[in-house]
Structure 1
Amino acid sequence: MSTSYSTEVSDQFNEWSHGYRKIQHTKATVRLVEEYLQRIPLESKDDHRKLLNTIALLKAADRICSASMWLVAHMTYAKRVPMDGSVLSADDFKKKAQGHTGGALNMTPAYTGYLLANSLSGKTRSWVMGQGHCVAAIEAVNAIIGNQYEEKAKLYSCDEQGLSRLCRDYYSYELDKDGELKSRIGSHVNIHTAGGISEGGYLGFTALQYSHMPLPGQELVAFLSDGAFEEQRGSDWAPRWWRAADTGLVTPVMIENGRKIDQRTLMAQEGGTSYFEKYLKLHDFNPLPIDGSDPAAYAITLLNAMETLSKIGQEAQEGRISYPVKLPYIIAEVVKGYGLPAAGTNAAHNLPLGENLVEDDKAREEFINATAALYVSQTELEESVKTLNNHSINGRVREKDHELRLLKRRELIFPDDNYIESGLSVSCLREIDKWFSDLIHCNKSVRFRLGNPDEVQSNKMTKTLASLKHRVANPENNETESITGGVISALNEEAVVSAVLANKQGVGLVVSYEAFAMKMLGAMRQEVIFSRNLKKANRPAEWISIPVIATSHTWENGKNEQSHQDPKFSENWLCEMSDISPVYFPIDANTSKAILINLYKTRGKIAAMVASKKALPIVTTGDEAATAANNGVFIAIKEPNADIQLIAIGGYQLQSCLKAAKLLQRESVKCEVVALLEPGRFRVPRDETEAEYCHDKVMIDLMIAPAPLRIVVSHTGEEVITGVLRRLDLGTEKTTFMGYKNQGGTLNLDGMLKVNGQSERDIESVAKKMLSTNK
């Protein structure tokens, strides 16, 4: 410590530097903190007081971290916590323990360090955690410092009663009288986790999203794991995407504990930190290795990283350096499960002491000894919490209310509709492109993102490309590429959909080949589950809904062999809840645009839209398209007292049905033709929330006239749509479902329809057979 400091400051610093229980400070961390303190001027009594306050915050963080690790261990194994430090009896333990204990113990100093950085700087940053299974760390720290939402604050107070309930509710599996999960504590981050914005259950997606999340002026800390590093391709592209002009400061923090569930990570096998540092440097990161068991190391390095990125971002803005900038990247090296026995072994991942400490005397004794080394007295803990929680002094919000958690609602200005006249043939994608480009120009202050897994021009999105441009570091063609472009292009569906999903403070659109959109489902599903749970808790998401358009689809992609002929993207999304995950099958350019307009007026939804890029006849007027988009159905041919009703799902399917209807009408068969644009609205709802969105029986009968016989011709396979449309099913003798039969190859549209039994002649033949059978 510098001799220029007072004896009081030096004594306090020395006391901190000697550590607290299991929280010890390496020489490197002590130097890091000394350098930070030296940046505080010594010109007045206020400066002297600031030095002492800073050291007090460092000491408080050590104690909160130790107590939180103590609580994490109890959450896994115990039914109650002894706030007085007394020894638990065998009956105080769970008979079947559960928890991702090792990772949660490692996340505790990381999250505490994030809180410390906020307290030191007087700024509340946002956070996101990719390893959602480590939620016990977040819940433990939040319970101790009182950073909780109202529904949990009254349950899990920082006393023996509240923290004991926290332990019992962790993995309790108990349901309430309505069949809902009773506990507010999940196995992963959930909507009740203070400040949580992502479940973090599908590993790897946070690493693809963080560089697209904050707006300028905002700061984000992204906690990542070395195990998840093996998951999704594209996490090392963050420097390619980050721009100071339209993105806030970000700092990724890798918890490098070297282990997955049952073996070492591939990173550890390659050489651990030294290997990863070299890897990061090759991909335009600036690696910052730290001691991952020390909250002070996290806090000071976070502050330094944010300051560095701010400076180099400004330099890039001024043209003094070029993109990609060297993005600071913290590598927190720590033994997995540090704080409990079996640290650094495979056992540390889940249950380092086994699952039943009631009967295992040796393991119970090890637990008692280990947690005693982490224990903090209630008086000392209360004083530390009071010190760290300096929000009122700084006039900042609590971490539960950070900027990415409480998004500001954004209202869009919509361009004129200008629907196309009936009788013309127009590409759905071309009309979507024209309207979306107009939307961009109407909302110049909004951050737009188009996710493009290649072929954006082939998919008719030329105007949007001209408006937004590909985001690149070195533009090759200024007409289609820009350093600050809004089109995120990579031959990686997970990466581009993540870029759009992360842009919740702006407007997003994804356009993909249908067959390859399948790879996006994991990222999409994780987002809508979180959004739906927010809605059910009366805290609906404020982000503008996101369409994912599947084009170059099954029926128009015959030239590319059968791997490209796959409707499972929409089939899978139909299995999600229709109120938050709608699936649309527009039948012409007008309905495509009307659906998009409707969707962008809603919040918190991720929609799948299967739209043709090749021209289809315009079959709706503007008013009809708007009504069809609202109701999810369009009556293409109305026929009172019809002999048979043809129901089409998909643009090409409607054209086949219209042609088949003409053939049947020539033989005096009264035929009605219906197009279902949103089949999910007609399903049997699976819960009350979905029931509010789906049409009831009365409404269905008003929209779709009762018929003696029905044929459903679907873009999808027939099995899924049969289940979805159970309420339109008249029975096997009176209803036939005709879907994609997994037949294909190098074919044109007519060939695809014929080999899958969906040509007009196929439909006519089935109709005649049904009419004959049901005379």
Structure 2
Amino acid sequence: MTGKQQTVQGTLSAEELMAIHAYWRAANYLTVGQIYLLDNPLLREPLRLEHIKPRLLGHWGTSPGLNFVYAHLNRLIRLRDANMIYVCGPGHGGPAMVANTYLEGTYSELNPDISRDEAGLRKLFRQFSFPGGIPSHAAPEVPGSINEGGELGYSLSHAYGAAFDNPDLIVACVIGDGEAETGPLAAAWHSNKFLNPAHDGAVLPILHLNGYKIANPTVLDRIPPEELRSLLIGYGHEPLFVEGDDPSEMHERMASVLEEAFGKIREIQEHARAGSGGKKRPRWPMIVLRSPKGWTGPKEVDGLKTEGFWRSHQVPLSGLAGNAEHLRMLEDWLGSYRPEELFGEDGSPVPEVLSATPAGSRRMSANPHANGGMLRKSLDMPGLAPHAVQVSRPGERKAEATRVMGGFLREVMRLNGAHRNFRLVGPDETASNRLQDVFEVAGRAWMEQVLPEDTDLGPDGRVLEILSEHTCQGWLEGYLLTGRHGLFSCYEAFIHIVDSMFNQHAKWLDASRDIPWRHPVSSLNYLLTSHVWQQDHNGFSHQDPGFVDVALNKKADIVRVYFPPDANTLLCVTDHVLRTWDRINIIVAGKAPSWQWLSMDQARAHCEVGIGIWDWASSKGPSDPDVVMACAGDVPTVETLAAVQILREHMPDLNVRVVNVVDLMTLQPREVHPHGLSDREFDGLFTADKPVIFAYHGYPWTIHRLTYRRRNHANFHVRGFNEEGTTTTPFDMTVLNGLDRYHLVQSVIERTPKVESTGFRLKQLMETKLLDHYGYVRAHGQDLSEIRDWKWNALV
């Protein structure tokens, strides 16, 4: 019972207890060594200042608990042949994770220069949080890791993402009690409502209560024990408690509780897979481990409590250069683990320590699920032609682009249903975003009560919906990092909720590329819809296209951004991104009925290059234009073409070139982005000296940011979203932000020398049109008929 120390006898034999304790001591020693030591890795001579790192970095407080859990999970794996990975939520536990992977041998196998001897130990210690070495967190450099942990809150959603469609896998997820205070983690507890024991794996949450954050107590450690139990039961778990500070008793209790939890997991799965379960959510076990922060470290430093207090959070002993007593205390602390008993003459771990580790791919640091690219198989992809919108000439018909995409994704689901390696995630928006055709073959996953009137809801669903963008992102990241594929559909304005998670995943992919043993994983794909330019039911709060700007801060080789102008280009882009790896692909596309411009063959060719001149929309005159009308995005494309039509009617001698951009990254120079155009290619499209009126879906300065190195950048005038929004008509939104056809025509007149002096009447007419629009839309609540009924007229 929580709050009391239960005595469990007989779970461990005397030999097991000695081995597991020796392993734990060794892991703790290696952890402290990484934080402090530059040399003298086995204390074979008196510790001197020159053996100490000049900058002491890293975190000790959470590490002994992480090592304790790791040691006992290893025992369970050996005992039950469990297929298990370790998700480390406490972000600063990097030295502990490195220590365990070193003891298991995986670290040296992947990094032969870090050998399992004294020389290797010296390098292991030196490299930690050291220039040219490895980070302080459980980063991609750590074998077995799928959770970096530098930013807290994502471990549990990552764990569930890894468990979905992985029936034999158990994901042990250690959640720090500081991490448990974050919003993403709090929402992620509900992931068990979506996990089906019949075909999914299991997650074993281990809530590690060591009582403190950096300088404050933690909420879950301080609330009354029965309140904590009730909270965890309310989340749908059966909590099992391991509490204390005496190592021998804690080893016994942890071994017993882990066996109990494993037995419950297997019982749940066997019941579900025998056909007698799997339709109702079980009560999954979890473990609450309460142990002292900085366990086995210095109890007091300078007369102040350290072990079991926040002072042990980072580096308990600092200022060693000016404090000989601290240096002596560090030597005593390291010596308390008795390294001479743990490492042989050559510095390798002794057989007693090694006997506590699993073998081969059963080692958590060598489990292929934690290096998911090893397991990744390409999706079986449907053809595009059956889903194409038939377009014999531009602008002859309308279609809902994302509804067409939904039919394509339905076939992706169908073709890969047997493999169970593709999931669609989103915050309650699959149908709202017009992707509901997927429900014909894969409903929404749901392990709670289903009412007769519910639709597309049940335990076998493969669409994951929860109104938490954090949880959706975490699920998909865990799913991808363990070798599968997926797509995240979200309202454009609210994808910002996962800005930080996006950043962390981008950094993970970037770091992984430089690690030769990390295999490529499927790309993280976003569909951003219900976008800024069409918010019929919503207003200013739903109008923000700025996620692309966040994405562009990442390294060019990681990020791709696509603005398909119609349904067929959206199909081509979707097909492409689902075939890629080690990327983050962002697709921005509207869901409202919109004009269709390209046939499937034309769309393929356009998307292959990512940018191009639309000859059918451009003037038929000389090849050298007077002005370039560029556009990126579905609504900007419509407004650009409408502006071109006005110019053709009123200024037939003006030579207009229309350039449409699907792949935003083509605007960057080739030396900056692999999709970028050379300067010669860019000038071939946009000219070297003519005005460019660019209608862009998002914030105008994004285009300037991408093109500032180009020779003709000074002639670029970009119109886009200027943070003007409200609940209004789609066309009025473009007017409020100056993206509409009338403002575009005015921009052409103002910036094109050929018509600057002769275009006064047309410019005045455009002003009259804007005034007419202003009065009409506010009087009638809808756009003028000339806007509602507009069509592209190729004969003008």
TM-score normalised according to structure 1 size? 0.87
Distance 1:78 1:299 in 2: 32
Match of 1:88 in 2: 47
**CA distance 1:569–1:675, shift in 2 (3 Å):** same
Q: Distance in 2 between matches of 1:650 and 1:30?
A: 65
User: Paired residue for 2:450, among 447, 453, 475?
Assistant: 475
Q: What whole-Å deviation, never above 9, does each CA across 1:254-303 have from its counterpart, x for those lacking one?
A: 211111111011212323x5432221111210111114765665455334
Aligned to 1:326: 283
Deviation string 1:544-601 (CA, Å, 9 cap, x unpaired) is 3232111111111164121111111122122223432211111001111100001111
**TM-superposed deviation, 1:332:** 1.1
2:365 pairs with 399, 406, 412, which one? 399
Instruction: Indicate the residue corresponding to 2:720 in structure 1.
Output: 739
C-alpha change, 1:741 and 1:126, in structure 2 (3 Å) is same
Q: Distance in 2 between matches of 1:302 and 1:481?
A: 34
Report what 2:434 is aligned to. 460
Q: Which residue of 1 aligns with 2:239?
A: 287
Aligned length, in residue pairs: 713
Of 70, 81, 86, the match for 1:111: 70
Alignment partner for residue 654 of structure 1, among 632, 637, 660? 637
SS at match of 1:132: coil
Query: Relative to 1, partners in 2 of residues 1:610 and 1:319: Cα closer, same or farther, differing over 3 Å?
Result: same
SS in structure 1 at match of 2:399: strand
Distance 1:298 1:708 in 2: 73
The equivalent residue for 2:783 is: none
Aligned residue in 2 for 1:344: 308
Q: Are residues 576 and 711 of structure 1, via their aligned partners in 2, closer, same or farther at CA, if it must alter by over 3 Å? A: same
Structure 1 range deviating more: 422-431 or 284-293: 284-293
State the Cα distance separating 1:497 from its structure 2 match.
Answer: 2.4
Going from structure 1 to structure 2, the CA distance change for 1:187 and 1:659 (only over 3 Å counts) comes to same
Query: Which residue of structure 1 aligns with residue 769 of structure 2?
Result: none
- Percent identity, aligned pairs only, is 21
Q: Given that residues 208 and 289 in structure 2 are in contact (C-alpha distance below 8 angstroms), is that contact kept between their aligned partners in structure 1?
A: yes
- The structure-2 alpha-carbon separation of the partners of 1:366 and 1:246, relative to structure 1 and needing over 3 Å to count, comes to same
C-alpha separation between the residues in 2 aligned to 1:480 and 1:573?
A: 33
Q: Which residue identity is paired with 2:656?
A: C
Residue 415 of structure 1 deviates from its aligned partner by 1.6
Select which of 472, 481, 485 maps to 2:461: 485
| Aligned residue in 2 for 1:61 | 20
CA distance in 1, matches of 2:243, 2:669: 54
Distance 1:365 1:562, change over 3 A: same
8 A contact 2:628–2:686 mirrored in 1: no
Q: SS in structure 1 opposite 2:203?
A: strand
Letter in 2 for 1:336: K
Mapping for residues 579-598 of structure 1, pairs under 5 Å: 579-598=557-576
* Offset from partner CA, 1:95-144 (integer Å, 9 cap, x none): 33111111223212122222232233344522221223211001122223
Matched, 1:259 2:212: yes
Q: Does 1:446 align with 2:419?
A: yes
- Pick aligned residue for 1:223 from 174, 194, 207: 174
The superposition leaves residues 143-199 of structure 1 with CA deviations (integer Å, 9 ceiling, x where unpaired) of 234221545231x33333322222222221x2xxxxxxx21x212122221212221
Residue 147 of structure 2 corresponds to: 198
- TM-score with structure 2 setting the length: 0.84
Q: 2:606 is matched by which residue type in structure 1?
A: A
CA spacing shift, 1:582–1:487, aligned 2, 3 Å: same
Map of 1:760 onto structure 2: 741
Q: Tell me what 2:787 maps to.
A: none
Change (3 A) 1:465 1:498: farther
Q: CA RMSD in A?
A: 2.6
Q: Which residue number corresponds to residue 388 of structure 1?
A: 356
Aligned counterpart, 2:389? 420
Deviation of residue 482 (structure 1)? Answer: 0.9
Does the Cα contact within 8 Å between 2:108 and 2:115 map onto a contact in 1?
Answer: no
Give 1:308's aligned amino acid.
Answer: K
Pick from 163, 168, 183 the counterpart of residue 121 of structure 2.
163
Q: Does 1:121 align with 2:84?
A: no
Among candidates 530, 550, 553, match of residue 528 of structure 2: 550
Question: 1:12 maps to which residue?
Answer: none
Cα distance in 1 for residues equivalent to 2:618 and 2:511? 40
Offset at residue 534 of structure 1 (A)? 2.1
- Which of residues 626, 633, 639 is equivalent to 1:643? 626
Following the alignment from structure 1 to structure 2, what is the Cα–Cα distance between the partners of residues 587 and 143?
Answer: 52
Decide which of 304, 322, 326 is 2:260's aligned counterpart.
304
Local SS of the residue matching 2:350:
helix
Partner of 1:501: 477
CA distance in 2 between counterparts of 1:290 and 1:27 reads: 8
Matched-pair contact (CA < 8 Å) for 2:490–2:528: yes
Q: Is the 8 A contact 1:574 1:680 kept in 2?
A: no
- The 1:270/1:451 distance shift into structure 2, 3 A limit, reads same
Task: Give the aligned residue type for 1:409.
Answer: R
- In the other structure, the counterpart of 1:22 is none
Question: 1:42-98 CA distances to partner (integer Å, 9 max, x unpaired)?
Answer: xxxxxxxxxxxx754442221121122122222222322442554301332233311
In the alignment, the residues of structure 2 paired with residue 655 and residue 321 of structure 1 have an alpha-carbon distance, to the nearest angstrom, of 49
Correspondence for 1:353: 317
